[in-house]
Amino acid sequence: MRLLLAFVVGFVTAVPAASVAIRPPKNKVREQQQADSLHGTWVVVSMWFNGKKMDAVVVKDFKVIITARKIVSMQMGKAVSESSYKLDLTKQPKQIESTVIEGPQKGKVSVAIFSVEGDILKLATSRDGKKAPGGFDGRDTPVVFVFKRQKG
């Protein structure tokens, strides 16, 4: 009986210690939540090119679908490119590096910055695509997209 009691007490006290050890650090949980906030279907609501707002016809029917592993760009219901990506959430603004794996620019690597606020995603690229721009203002940011999350 004492052996059984010792086993139960040992097991009960070991479980909380083990569960603490396998929990990810709070900053990793926060980073995962930030990464998850990107997942979904995003429809372009506006686009700036070299500081000028593009006509609605240019961005009509353009959207991106972001999953945990890839980004698919869609135009008029058809996939036009597919990219893998990795995030750097430690930088301000946050950065995303993508590599085109399907489409006309296959193999191209580019670095952009992004910001997610609720259902709005801002994405900006630099002139060469290899270095992240400093902000979303258009000076060193020739292309700025503003997306809205598609519901449903």
Q: Is pLDDT at 104 greater than 50 in this prediction? A: yes
Residues 45 and 63 in one domain: yes
User: Looking at this protein, which amino acid is placed at residue 49?
Assistant: F
Residues 7 and 81 in one domain: no
User: What are the respective helix, strand and coil percentages of the chain, to the nearest 5?
Assistant: 25, 45, 35
Which of 2-6, 55-59, 138-142 is least confident?
2-6
CA 122, chain centre distance (Å)? 11
Residues 67 and 139 in one domain: yes
CATH for 80: 2.40.128.280
Residues 79 and 101 in one domain: yes
Q: 109: which strand partners? A: 99
Residues 117 and 88 in one domain: yes
Question: Looking at the 3D structure of the chain, how many domains does it have?
Answer: 2
Residues 43 and 24 in one domain: no
**What is the rounded CA–CA span in Å between residue 116 and residue 66?**
13
In the numeric block, the tokens 């990464």 are attached to 35
**What is the rounded CA–CA span in Å between residue 104 and residue 19?**
48
Residues 14 and 27 in one domain: yes
Residues 59 and 116 in one domain: yes
Residues 55 and 128 in one domain: yes
Residues 25 and 96 in one domain: no
Residues 60 and 94 in one domain: yes
Residues 74 and 143 in one domain: yes
- The pTM (predicted TM-score) of the whole model is 0.76
**What is the rounded CA–CA span in Å between residue 95 and residue 112?**
6
Q: Which domain holds residue 11?
A: 1-36
Cis amide bond preceding 142, omega within 30: no
Residue-wise pLDDT for 21-37, tens only, equals 565 566 667 777 778 88
Residue-wise pLDDT for 49-73, tens only, equals 887 888 776 677 899 999 999 999 9
**What is the rounded CA–CA span in Å between residue 107 and residue 115?**
25
